[in-house]
Chain A
Amino acid sequence: MAMEKKNEIARLKSKIKRLSSLVDVNEVISSSLDVDTILENVMTISKKVMNADASSLMRIDPQTNELIYQVAQGSVGEKLKKEVRLKMGQGIAGTVAEEGKPLLLEDAYDHPKFFRGNDEKTGYRTKSMITVPLKVGDRITGVAQVINRLDGKPFDTDDLELFQALSSMAAIALENARMHQSLMEKQRLVKDMEFARTVQESFLPQQAPEVRNFSFSAHYTPALEVGGDFYDFISLDVDRTGIVIGDVSGKGVPAALYMAKLGSDMRTLAFTEKVPAAALARLNDLLAARSRRGMFATLLYLELDANSRTLVMANAGHLPPIIKKADGSVARLAGAGGAPLGMLNGMKFTQESVTLAPGETVVLYTDGIVEAMNAREELYGYERFEALIASSPADPSVLKKAIIDEVNRFTGLSPQHDDMTLVCLGALK
């Protein structure tokens, strides 16, 4: 009787000691963000508490769906780490990873799936073994294993229970590390995009051009960090200024990259081609030759001659400019004189011209303005836009501010759906 009690006390003491190892593991997990260190320490503790000769942890490589050694402790650990990769269902570890159920073996050699090749290569004799899946919810991320009890006895169900508890903590450490890594990658991407935004902003004119008898004002806000809207002012000579506004299909990074190429090609062609329609025809062919995924751009190119006050306009599928006349009335100018750029090689474009009287202002814009949407999913629309232009002062910078303020008031707290660009140019009185 006394003997039995003694044994019982010894067993409980051992249980307490083993359970307290869980607390140690918990501390290890929260002590570092370095997954290699954490898992190495978790498996060291596991090996010690389980009284095992070897321990290992394999994780599933999401790219190949194979098991690779993350930790391998024991006399042949390093060799295993370098040489072994297991497919799902292959060997004991592959079977546990595939089926998601723990496996307790008194002698591994009795299991048909056990692969003796590693033992033969290393001279090691695997006997008793526990293999448990590492799970996050229903998702299996790897397996953990202990091999051969040091006292020579096979592992029992108490051992299995404890090892499952230890391994569930290793699974948490592995998942934390994965989430930490993905968070770091996201943060890097956010920083890259912020940087890209400043690079893209540098493509836009840093100030309005100074042209005799005319004044200019422009506004640009992308819906995402970077966008596919753009505008440019190009000083062609003392009297002539090129004015560009465009909108690349789609949004975000692809649109921004397309816009960068388009903007620089446009700048070159503004100098080399004689008239706006010819510049658009050349630009169209350049873009169509490198077409990807059907991307295209609508673009309006205007050449202003400050001396004669004429504005020559060529429109590739873009929204028509709106003129505010000296008497306050508004009208739409050059409608599209050709299809958007980059769709099809060999397109032709027409051009129109208008002479601007003193006090007249021309408004160029992208669809992000007229299609701005409020919380009730109503579009800002031409009616409001043209009424506002008619009732606002003709001065380009005042008019620009009035339009942007009103569009922002209209959309309220609704997120911006599309890039918004606005260019106003006015003939001074």
Chain B
Amino acid sequence: MKVEIITEKISAGTVVKLIGDVDMNTSPDVRTSIAEVFKTGGSKALLINLSGVRYMDSSGIATLVETMQNCMKQGMKLRLVEPSPSVRDVFELARLSSIFQIFPSMNDALNGI
């Protein structure tokens, strides 16, 4: 199972949309794409759209954690957007809402950036 990664620059920052499973096999690709965003620079915020992610394992979450840590170092905002119900369940069960800023829609996420 591959993951599709679409990166789009908008005025508020950079949106990375992930489509597919984010697991041990695909998270290295996600990691590389997000590293590109940091390398390019110039974004105040990174918005990761999770609406197309059906399944995310602990390797996928670790990639988001590393992204969050890098965003903090660079003074960038990280917002996770529109997690699918199955991903939301994982986040709630593991209390990840205390770590990440999670928004139900892109409009909500863009508020206040």
Number of A-B contacts (CB under 8 A): 64
**A338 CB-CB contact with B under 8 Å:** yes
Interface centre among B31, B65, B67 (most CB of A within 10 A): B65
**B6 CB-CB contact with A under 8 Å:** no
**A174 CB-CB contact with B under 8 Å:** no
Q: Collect the chain B residues with CB atoms within 8 Å of residue A291's CB.
A: 65-66, 69
In angstroms, Cα B59 to Cα A49, docked, is 60
What is the interface size of chain A, counting residues whose CB is below 8 A from a CB of the partner? 23
* Given contacts A294-B64, A294-B66, A249 and B95 within 8 Å (CB-CB): no
**B61 CB-CB contact with A under 8 Å:** yes
In angstroms, Cα B96 to Cα A9, docked, is 88
B64 to A, closest residue via Cβ: A294
Question: Interface stretch among A197-205, A340-348, A352-360?
Answer: A340-348
Question: Of A250, A317, A318, A337, which contacts B96 at CB under 8 A?
Answer: A317
User: Closest Cβ of chain B: how far from A299's Cβ, in Å?
Assistant: 11
* Given contacts A250-B24, A336-B93, A343-B68, A293 and B98 within 8 Å (CB-CB): no
In angstroms, Cα B37 to Cα A144, docked, is 48
Q: Tell me the dominant secondary structure on chain A's binding face.
A: loop
What is the interface size of chain B, counting residues whose CB is below 8 A from a CB of the partner? 19
Q: Tell whether, in the assembled complex, residue A294 and residue B93 are in contact, meaning their CB atoms are under 8 Å apart.
A: no
**B62 CB-CB contact with A under 8 Å:** yes
* Given contacts A343-B68, A344-B99, A249 and B94 within 8 Å (CB-CB): no
User: Closest Cβ of chain A: how far from B74's Cβ, in Å?
Assistant: 15
Interface centre among A249, A294, A347 (most CB of B within 10 A): A294
Q: Collect the chain B residues with CB atoms within 8 Å of residue A335's CB.
A: 93
Q: Collect the chain A residues with CB atoms within 8 Å of residue B66's CB.
A: 291, 293-294
**A251 CB-CB contact with B under 8 Å:** yes
**B14 CB-CB contact with A under 8 Å:** no
**A226 CB-CB contact with B under 8 Å:** no
A342 to B, closest residue via Cβ: B65
User: Closest Cβ of chain A: how far from B111's Cβ, in Å?
Assistant: 23
Q: Tell whether, in the assembled complex, residue A339 and residue B59 are in contact, meaning their CB atoms are under 8 Å apart.
A: no
User: Closest Cβ of chain A: how far from B89's Cβ, in Å?
Assistant: 12
**B63 CB-CB contact with A under 8 Å:** yes
**B58 CB-CB contact with A under 8 Å:** yes
**A298 CB-CB contact with B under 8 Å:** yes
Interface centre among B62, B68, B93, B99 (most CB of A within 10 A): B62
B residues bordering A, Cβ < 8 Å? 24, 31, 58-59, 61-69, 93-96, 98-99
Q: List 12 A-B contacts (CB under 8 A).
A: A248-B58, A250-B58, A250-B59, A294-B62, A296-B58, A317-B93, A317-B96, A318-B94, A336-B95, A338-B95, A338-B98, A344-B99
